Structure 1
């Protein structure tokens, strides 16, 4: 019975044989710290048929999974990521051998164009995308074409193999009843929240002061012999990613915001960039590239943000929004969020707060920052908080009012 619900097995497609897979670098999953003294362009992690899996591909998948699942790097996680990529290539290889499965040029081009449009939106436009990748749109399309063809073939193969499997409701029910209750995971406390956000806007004088300071910091490093790491510890904003010395290792340029990726891609190894403004972090950056490995870089950076005003005007504004909601039951919270919230990511969804990595609305209470917990501690479902200062889930500092939608206590799955 359980086999009906097991995951789609690659080994079953190949009759249990994984001949044709050559894992070349079993030691590649070692911690990045072990390889800091070695510079290579890239390495081959595995060969599946005529397809190569590069170490950088595995590293990129590991980074994405650690962010999405809030995990720490480990040897097992790296090997699991390699297994996933091998399985994907195996499915695509098997699908290519199946003469009943084909992908037309029209189908491939349609999905490829859709993928490129999504990348353009994320990057902020065609020019920003080309700058981030260091390639033209045509070159970017060619880079993705064959991988996408393999993905489409693999999807069609899955559908073909799964279409004749029929499971009755009673079988589903019996399968769940057979699971021992004490083996079910315990799910943590979660909440659903909506909010209206306003940012305190720095004055032009504050912006100029921040720009002058980071220019002075760069001059001390480049011309005065100051240590980049020491200057980062002294001047960089606490919200800046990386170690206290500003270090970010094993970073894929494709994972960075476009303006940061563009500067990182054109800055030579060992040099310090000119100051640049990063809109997403509302501050000025300088960065130093310490190594490049294909599209993967190691770098140090310093972030200096303009001083923000006290926020009294912002709190008055949010108090007026809250009063309108409390005194007019026919005015939806979602409408006020769309009209008045300055957090673009949540405003377009009526103020609904989602996890920035997984996209879920059910936020694990213990993972929220202290300011979030204090704000909602005494709220009942439907209550709206008074204006409070907050560090948003994406790291930005702002003021907001919060409506608690619901609380779910810890429970068995």
Structure 2
């Protein structure tokens, strides 16, 4: 049982670290690499390479984060990267693509966190040794790869059926010292409000976009040049605003409706409003159910005055809820701008397990900081945070419930135990797939990197 758990845990670490690996590999080599490291190709997996500098970057990042590597890092880390590349190669074969709008939202959230961490754009660029546009570009690419890996895994695994009898048998077979500890979890209700941007600010954004359109139509300036200079989607701005061929479902609905109705390459659309801001779009090319476009994105700025108005309004609302003039759920239904939560009394859904329970570290940091100090039933003062679309919003939260950490029981934690059984089955499927894929994939490992006890011995084929 212990050997089985060890295998399962190691595989879980590999799979869960896919997004982390992608993001860490996006960090500049100069931040982590030692001066005496000469870069070289150390592994080849299919048509993908693994560089020595990739391994060094990840190894030193683990040290910085205080994370223990179970084994020789020069064996463990390359194997982690190689496993990731197997999944990415499968994505190519299956033509799996992720939603670009979802990736943009994640990039915006990361960038907001970076700016908070470094306190200024200039400091961020200095420490990371990249321009802001380069940081956004690398984040966009790495997050896209991480999400692609997850989509491949989900497709390979499919739906896993688990019976109550299997869950009970799993629990009964666990040694006492292996019964999982269920960490403290919380249920949180939230009311969010987008600070109202002034009409003057929106008019100014639209005026600028109209001016760009006039410059393109008159031949004064190419669309791509204007995108590089002014677009606030910095990832595509570097490419002259071009986002590549996208399916309808990969774009924001309002953007897709306009882009797919455009007929003449080079023409510029009217102004389009999406959840990300305001765009003008230029058609590059259509291919079947895919379209390639350029765009210029501008985001109206929220003034400090508008932000203060929103926080004051929510503080007043919180007081009314505390005075029991109405319930938090009623206020969420009629006053919250969060479409995902307002019809469920403001209860936040956990996107990772389909429940409404969160471990503290899984909450947005601004919310976790507040929730930690609340008693069950308490309502917070207004706070500001970056939402999942990269927008600055104001919010109040209520601690609906707190379930203290404890050893799992079959009666209280059936869902958690069922999830463990599903995870075990999932990891077994993926483990077997990796073993099979190793046999079908060309792998070359340089001398000096082969003397390892790999988790998957099939890398060495000669």
- Please report the TM-score for the alignment, with normalisation by the length of structure 2: 0.47
SS at match of 2:309: helix
Select the structure that is richer in helix.
2
SS at match of 2:349: coil
How far off is 1:76 after superposition? 6.9
Mapped pair 1:195 → 2:190: yes
Match of 2:98 among 39, 48, 63: 63
Write the deviation string for residues 75-102 of structure 1: whole angstroms up to 9, x where unpaired. Answer: 9767667767xx99xxxxxxxxxxxxxx
Mapped pair 1:336 → 2:349: no
Match of 1:322 among 312, 318, 328: 318
How far off is 1:369 after superposition? 4.4
Structure showing greater relative contact order (alpha-carbon pairs closer than 8 Å, 6 or more residues apart): 2
Mapped pair 1:215 → 2:210: yes
- Matches of 1:410 and 1:219 in 2, distance apart? 65
1:306 matched to which residue of 2?
300
SS at match of 1:401: strand
Q: CA RMSD in A?
A: 4.7
Q: Is the contact between residue 195 and residue 393 of structure 2 (CA under 8 Å) also seen in structure 1?
A: yes
Write the deviation string for residues 306-331 of structure 1: whole angstroms up to 9, x where unpaired. Answer: 33342332222211111112223x74
- Matches of 2:188 and 2:178 in 1, distance apart? 30
Match of 1:275 among 270, 282, 287: 270
Q: Is the contact between residue 214 and residue 275 of structure 1 (CA under 8 Å) also seen in structure 2?
A: no
Match of 2:278 among 279, 284, 288: 284
Mapped pair 1:72 → 2:145: yes
Q: Is the contact between residue 388 and residue 400 of structure 1 (CA under 8 Å) also seen in structure 2?
A: yes
- Matches of 1:410 and 1:213 in 2, distance apart? 57
Mapped pair 1:398 → 2:393: yes
1:295 matched to which residue of 2?
289
Q: 1:30-69, aligned counterparts within 5 Å? A: 58-59=94-95, 63=98
Unaligned 5+ residue runs, structure 2?
1-45, 49-90, 104-142, 409-419, 421-462
Q: Is the contact between residue 355 and residue 393 of structure 1 (CA under 8 Å) also seen in structure 2?
A: no
Matched positions, count = 279
Write the deviation string for residues 120-157 of structure 1: whole angstroms up to 9, x where unpaired. Answer: xxxxxxxxxxxxxxxxxxxxxxxxxxxxxxxxxxxxxx
Q: Is the contact between residue 279 and residue 297 of structure 2 (CA under 8 Å) also seen in structure 1?
A: yes
- Matches of 1:375 and 1:307 in 2, distance apart? 26
**Cα pair distance change 1:261/1:199, threshold 3 Å:** same
How far off is 1:188 after superposition? 8.1
**Cα pair distance change 1:207/1:71, threshold 3 Å:** closer
**Cα pair distance change 1:81/1:371, threshold 3 Å:** closer
**Cα pair distance change 1:241/1:386, threshold 3 Å:** farther
- Matches of 1:243 and 1:364 in 2, distance apart? 37
Write the deviation string for residues 158-186 of structure 1: whole angstroms up to 9, x where unpaired. Answer: 9xxx9xx9x784x6523443467999999
- Matches of 1:306 and 1:207 in 2, distance apart? 6
How far off is 1:352 after superposition? 1.5
How far off is 1:285 after superposition? 0.6
Unaligned 5+ residue runs, structure 1?
1-28, 32-54, 89-157
1:7 matched to which residue of 2?
none
SS at match of 2:275: helix
1:143 matched to which residue of 2?
none
SS at match of 1:344: coil
- Matches of 2:283 and 2:144 in 1, distance apart? 26
2:434 matched to which residue of 1?
none
